[in-house]
C-alpha cells in the first residue's frame, strides 16, 4: 500500500463483534479468564489492551517495521531504550537534541554509570573518532531540535552495523510520512507520538518501532515491567489522528516552505534554519532521505536580543506561544527558556541556540494569514 492508504488502513480491522469500522476504546483494566491462564490473549491492560494493540500495529506498518511499542510519553519511550544498557556502557548522541532527552541522559542515567558523548553529527565520519569498545548505542535526531540539522541516517547505520552498536533515530520532527529510518538501516525508531502522529494537541504519548524480534522482546518486557503505558482513550485519539497524517504533513510542508522563504527575506531576521534551503548544510542528504522538508523552522533576529524575541512572541495572534509541536495549529516557542532550558547556556550556544532563536511549528492554516501574523509581530521590534 502507498502511504496514504496505510495511514487509513494499517493495523485496523473492523470490530469482530459488531463490525464497527472504528477501533473501539477498550476502557477496561482487566479481562475475565475461563480458567487460570486460559484467556483470549488479554490478561491486564498494563500488559496488553486491544486499542493499544491496534495502534502499535499501525505505527509499525507506517515505519515499515515489524514491532510497534507504545508508551505514556516520548520520554517514557526513550527511558525504556536506556534500560537496555548497563553501568559502564557508552552512548554517542548528537550535540543538538531535544532538551528533555539531554536532561534524561545527563541528570538520570549518568548517575547510574552510563556515559554520554555529545558530538556534532553533520559529518558521520567524525562520529567514528568517538566510538570505543564500550559504545553500545548512537542516538540520532534528524532534523534536530531546534537547529534543524540533518544527519545522514544510512551513513550512521553503517557505523553501527559493523560494530554491533544499536542505531536509534528520533523521527519526531519528520514523522513516518517524511522519513523512514528503518529503511535506511537504523535499528530503532522513536516518536513523540504527541506531535505529528497525534496531530491535534490533545494527547501525550511515545512509541518505538523495531524490526529485530529479540530487541522487541526486551523492549516489550520493559514496557510491561516498568508500566509507562498509554491508556486506551489516548490510543484511540492517535489512531484517529493517523488517518489524516499524510494530508496534514503535505500542508505542513507546503506552509513550511512558504514561511521559511518569507522569513529568509525579512530585514529583521538574521538567519533561518530549515532543511529545504539549498544552502542548508546537508541539504543534499535531506533530499535523499526525506520526502519533503516539513513545517519545523527556527530563526534568529538581527541583534540577537532575547527581549526582541519575547516581544515578537507576545505579539503573535495565530502562532500560539506554547511548548510542543506538530499540531494542526501553529505554535511558537523560545527554546533557550522553554524546551532547552535544561541545557547549560554555554552548551546551547556552541550549536547556535542563541537567546533570540524562535522555533516555529507551522500549522495547516492559510499561509497568507500566517505570513501576516509574522509581519505584524516582527513590526513590533
- Positions annotated as catalytic residues are 46, 98, 170, 195
Distance, in Å, from the CA atom of 339 to the CA atom of 167, rounded to the nearest integer, reads: 24
| H or E, element range at 40 | none
Beta strands, E only, the chain? 67-71, 90-94, 115-119, 135-141, 166-170, 188-192, 206-210, 269-273, 296-301, 320-321, 331-333, 358-361
DSSP 283-306: HHHHHHH-SS--SEEEEEETT--H
Other beta carbons less than 10 A from residue 86's beta carbon:
10
What is the separation of C-alpha 317 from the centre of its chain, rounded to a whole number of angstroms? Answer: 26
The answer to whether the beta carbons of residues 331 and 296 sit under 8 Å apart is no
367-378 and 306-314 are packed helices; what angle lies between their axes, rounded to 10 degrees?
130
The answer to whether the beta carbons of residues 73 and 223 sit under 8 Å apart is no
* C-alpha pair distances (Å), 369 with each of 142, 244, 274, 285, 304: 29, 22, 20, 32, 26
Amino acid at each position: 500500500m502507498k502511504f496514504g492508504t496505510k495511514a487509513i488502513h494499517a493495523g485496523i480491522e473492523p470490530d469482530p463483534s459488531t463490525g464497527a469500522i472504528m477501533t473501539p476504546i477498550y476502557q477496561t483494566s482487566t479481562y475475565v479468564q475461563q480458567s487460570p491462564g486460559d484467556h483470549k490473549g488479554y490478561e491486564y491492560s498494563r500488559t496488553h489492551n486491544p486499542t493499544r494493540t491496534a495502534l502499535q500495529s499501525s505505527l509499525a506498518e507506517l515505519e515499515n517495521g515489524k514491532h510497534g511499542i507504545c508508551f505514556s510519553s516520548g520520554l517514557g519511550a526513550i527511558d525504556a531504550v536506556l534500560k537496555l544498557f548497563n553501568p559502564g556502557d557508552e552512548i554517542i548522541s548528537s550535540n543538538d537534541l531535544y532538551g528533555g532527552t539531554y536532561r534524561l541522559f545527563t541528570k538520570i542515567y549518568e548517575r547510574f554509570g552510563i556515559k554520554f558523548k555529545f558530538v556534532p553529527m553533520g559529518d558521520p565520519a567524525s562520529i567514528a573518532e568517538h566510538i570505543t569498545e564500550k559504545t553500545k548505542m548512537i542516538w540520532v535526531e534528524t532534523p534536530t531540535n531546534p537547529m534543524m540539522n540533518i544527519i545522514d541516517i544510512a551513513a550512521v547505520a553503517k557505523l553501527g552495523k559493523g560494530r554491533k552498536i544499536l542505531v536509534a533515530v528520533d523521527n519526531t520532527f519528520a514523522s513516518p510520512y517524511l522519513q523512514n529510518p528503518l529503511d535506511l538501516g537504523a535499528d530503532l525508531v522513536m516518536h513523540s507520538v504527541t506531535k505529528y502522529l497525534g496531530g491535534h494537541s490533545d494527547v501525550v504519548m511515545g512509541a518505538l518501532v523495531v524490526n529485530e524480534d529479540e530487541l522487541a522482546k526486551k523492549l516489550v518486557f520493559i514496557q510491561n515491567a516498568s508500566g509507562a503505558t498509554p491508556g486506551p482513550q489516548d490510543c484511540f485519539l492517535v489512531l484517529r489522528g493517523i488517518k489524516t497524517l499524510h494530508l496534514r504533513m503535505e500542508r505542513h510542508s507546503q506552509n513550511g516552505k512558504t514561511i521559511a522563504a518569507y522569513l529568509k527575506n525579512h530585514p529583521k531576521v538574521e538567519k533561518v534554519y530549515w532543511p529545504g534551503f539549498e544552502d542548508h548544510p546537508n541539504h543534499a542528504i535531506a533530499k535523499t532521505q526525506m520526502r519533503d522538508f516539513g513545517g519545523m523552522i527556527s530563526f534568529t533576529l538581527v541583534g540577537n536580543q532575547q527581549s526582541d524575541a519575547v516581544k515578537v512572541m507576545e505579539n503573535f495572534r495565530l502562532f500560539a506561544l506554547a511548548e510542543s509541536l506538530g499540531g494542526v495549529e501553529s505554535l511558537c516557542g523560545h527554546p533557550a527558556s522553554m524546551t532547552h532550558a535544561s541545557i547549560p547556556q554555554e552548551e546551547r550556544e556552541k550549536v547556535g541556540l542563541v537567546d533570540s532563536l524562535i522555533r516555529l511549528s507551522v500549522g495547516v492554516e492559510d499561509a497568507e494569514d500566517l505570513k501576516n501574523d509574522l509581519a505584524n509581530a516582527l513590526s513590533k521590534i
